[in-house]
Structure 1
Amino acid sequence: MSTPRNRASDVAYQTLKTRIIRGEFTFGQPLNLVDLQNRLGVGRTPMREALQRLVEDGLVNMIPNRGTFVNQVSLTELKLLMEARMELEGACARMVALSPEPKILVQLEQLVDNPGAFIPPDDHRDPAYALDEIFHPLFYAATGNPFIQTALLRLFYSATLSASVLRIPRFSCQAIQDDFHQILCAVRARDPDAAAEIMRRHIGTFRHRIAEQFLGPGTTRSLEGGESPG
């Protein structure tokens, strides 16, 4: 049974997570616990519980005798993170195509067909950001495996935080919708190879965009593992 303290902790967690992955804090920014408690109207214990969950998500770092900070992702770590996402989300798509959760699959299709119905009214960013942030966690849940879901969420949150803080431009909402539609078509067709390949391509295009953001057009040296022409 949910208690008032648990509910307060949940609200604090969801609010802070949303603000962090939307890039409202910078890498390494200290988080003042008293200030956050006052702003969110929660007590010390619920706030600490919320921050501990954010640590588990890879979004926050709590350093003894120093404080609590928004996690920082280096370019090298971002390279490894995107490599992990390509491989693991491809495997995730394969699993979903082999045995999807029917109710979640319907939700995913409704989301892709009409993203505006799912995007919170207070989210005024480019809808491509919101669509991506809703689709991927829901897709992980379609595996029916909470361990896979937890592992992928940690990677996803770190990547989303990096993209927001570094102001990495997304592709258009329509382009992302097209990718997701193709993935779901492959899932409906029970084609695990196609689902995995499309998902890997989707992650790969974003990985390429990150490389261009840091190195400029014409080379993907640092993130692609060797210099290559654009």
Structure 2
Amino acid sequence: MSSRAATRVFQGVEEQIATGQLKDGEKLDETSLAERFQVSRTPVREALLQLVGSGLATQVPKRGCFVKAPSLREMIEMFEVMSELEGMCARLAARRISDRQLIELEQSNRECGDAIKANDSDLYYRKNVEFHECIYSACGNGFLAEETRSLRRRLQSFRRLQLRVRGRMLQSLDEHSEIIEAIRSGDADQADRVSRQHVMIQGERFNDLLAHMEQDP
């Protein structure tokens, strides 16, 4: 129960940081968060540790936990690096993927399609993570895979939110199909190119989402 509650608090605070409702440097008070999410302080502490681990908060001894929101420039820079890492993973996967891994990749994309039919962007995000995990595993380079996962965790709130932009899930699914085709055919250059474009579009779409949210009353 505590773990589920901690995840709910983590995702709630994560989204508020991503959308600017919680500002950089703002204190994350355990008591206030426990009241806001109607949980005990134990899952709040777990959530704060997750936020620190994901780079969205910092723990200051004897002072508490504070929001560490990336600036727009930092976000753009992270998306640029993320696109290169994803491209490298796809490039290697095109050369090294096994038949079993290819089947798993295709199945993950079908499940992404099922999430679209359910109009569930959060489910799509989870299935999208599984899709990319298949590529990380297939690249055959553990160090590269872990570095890519690490940056993905830092960007996960922003990548999740951009899927709420109208039409983005369908576009993302089409891009997945292009990535799969390039990997299936062993075209490393094409796999690299379409994977990099896939992630950079996410950065642009996230900016669209922020603009849309700022227009809401």
Q: TM-score, normalised by structure 1?
A: 0.66
Question: Contact (CA 8 Å) 2:105, 2:131: kept in 1 or not?
Answer: yes
Question: Contact (CA 8 Å) 1:27, 1:71: kept in 2 or not?
Answer: no
Deviates more, 1:130-139 or 1:200-209: 130-139
Matched, 1:150 2:138: no
Query: How big is the alpha-carbon RMSD for the aligned residues of Structure 1 and Structure 2?
Result: 4.0
Question: Contact (CA 8 Å) 1:27, 1:73: kept in 2 or not?
Answer: no
Q: Distance in 2 between matches of 1:117 and 1:167?
A: 15
Matched, 1:185 2:181: yes
Matched, 1:62 2:73: no
Q: Distance in 2 between matches of 1:137 and 1:168?
A: 21
The aligned residue for residue 205 of structure 1 is 201
Of 88, 91, 96 in structure 2, the residue corresponding to residue 94 of structure 1 is 91
Q: Distance in 2 between matches of 1:200 and 1:136?
A: 12
Measured against aligned partners, the alpha-carbon deviations of 1:72-103 in whole angstroms (never above 9, x if no partner) come to 01111011111111211111111111212654
Matched, 1:75 2:72: yes
Please, which runs of 5 or more residues in structure 2 have no aligned partner?
Answer: 213-217
Amino acid at match of 1:84: V
Please, which runs of 5 or more residues in structure 1 have no aligned partner?
Answer: 1-6, 217-230
Matched, 1:175 2:163: no
Question: Contact (CA 8 Å) 1:183, 1:199: kept in 2 or not?
Answer: yes
Deviates more, 1:151-160 or 1:166-175: 166-175
After TM superposition, the structure 1 = structure 2 runs for residues 101-140 of structure 1, keeping only pairs within 5 Å, are: 102-115=99-112, 124-125=120-121, 129-140=125-136
Question: Contact (CA 8 Å) 2:92, 2:140: kept in 1 or not?
Answer: no
Matched, 1:195 2:191: yes
Q: Secondary structure at the match of 1:114?
A: helix
Q: Distance in 1 between matches of 2:166 and 2:126?
A: 11
Alignment: residue pair count: 204
Assess, with a 3 A threshold, how the Cα gap between structure 1 residues 165 and 147 changes in structure 2: closer, same or farther.
same
Percent of matched pairs sharing the same residue: 27
Q: TM-score, normalised by structure 2?
A: 0.69
Question: Contact (CA 8 Å) 1:100, 1:143: kept in 2 or not?
Answer: yes
Measured against aligned partners, the alpha-carbon deviations of 1:92-131 in whole angstroms (never above 9, x if no partner) come to 1111112126544333211212326679x9x944765454
